[in-house]
């Protein structure tokens, strides 16, 4: 099992940047694919990006040019840097993990954090 705790959410003006962090604890993180998801009001949860067990990172098309995911192996943190934020980026952002990459990418991960709210204002 792994435990995931997100931090770094908050309010930011459109065009600004924000960095989120997910602290990973428990089983060896190298056994898991991990990723960032978001859920906007009245929208289904969607993947922002993810990293597989071998360190390959992929992004959802809507976020690929505006976000960067990094894995800090020393701190066991999965970070999400978001730039040029838009009003529509307002959402609850979640960190997730699963031993099966396809479960993770499909939004069916076994492990989820509690989420951190990001609010973008004009």
Picking from 79, 102, 78, the residue whose alpha carbon sits closest to that of residue 29 is 78
Placement of tokens 């602290």 in the chain: 23
Summary mean pLDDT of the chain: 94
Q: Specify the pLDDT at position 120.
A: 97
Report residue 62's pLDDT band, with 50, 70 and 90 as the boundaries. Answer: confident
Report residue 65's pLDDT band, with 50, 70 and 90 as the boundaries. Answer: confident
Q: Specify the pLDDT at position 30.
A: 83
Whether residue 68 has pLDDT greater than 90: yes
List pLDDT tens digits, range 3-59.
Answer: 999 999 999 999 999 999 999 998 788 889 999 999 999 999 999 999 999 999 999
Placement of tokens 């065009």 in the chain: 15
Q: Specify the pLDDT at position 4.
A: 97
Q: How far is CA 52 from each of CA 12, 17, 21, 44, 122, rounded to the nearest angstrom?
A: 30, 25, 17, 23, 35
Q: Specify the pLDDT at position 119.
A: 98
Q: Phi and psi (nearest 5°) for 89?
A: -85, -5
């Amino acid at each position: 099992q792994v435990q995931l705790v997100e931090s770094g959410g908050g309010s930011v003006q459109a065009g600004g940047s924000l960095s989120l962090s997910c602290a990973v604890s428990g089983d060896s993180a190298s056994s898991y694919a991990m990723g960032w998801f978001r859920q906007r009001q009245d929208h289904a949860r969607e993947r922002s990006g993810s990293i597989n067990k071998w360190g390959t990172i992929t992004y959802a098309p809507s976020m690929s040019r505006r976000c960067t995911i990094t894995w800090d192996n020393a701190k066991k943190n999965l970070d999400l840097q978001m730039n040029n934020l838009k009003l529509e980026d307002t959402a609850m952002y979640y960190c997730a993990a699963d031993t099966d990459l396809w479960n993770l990418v499909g939004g069916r991960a076994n492990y989820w954090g509690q989420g951190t709210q990001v609010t973008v204002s004009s």
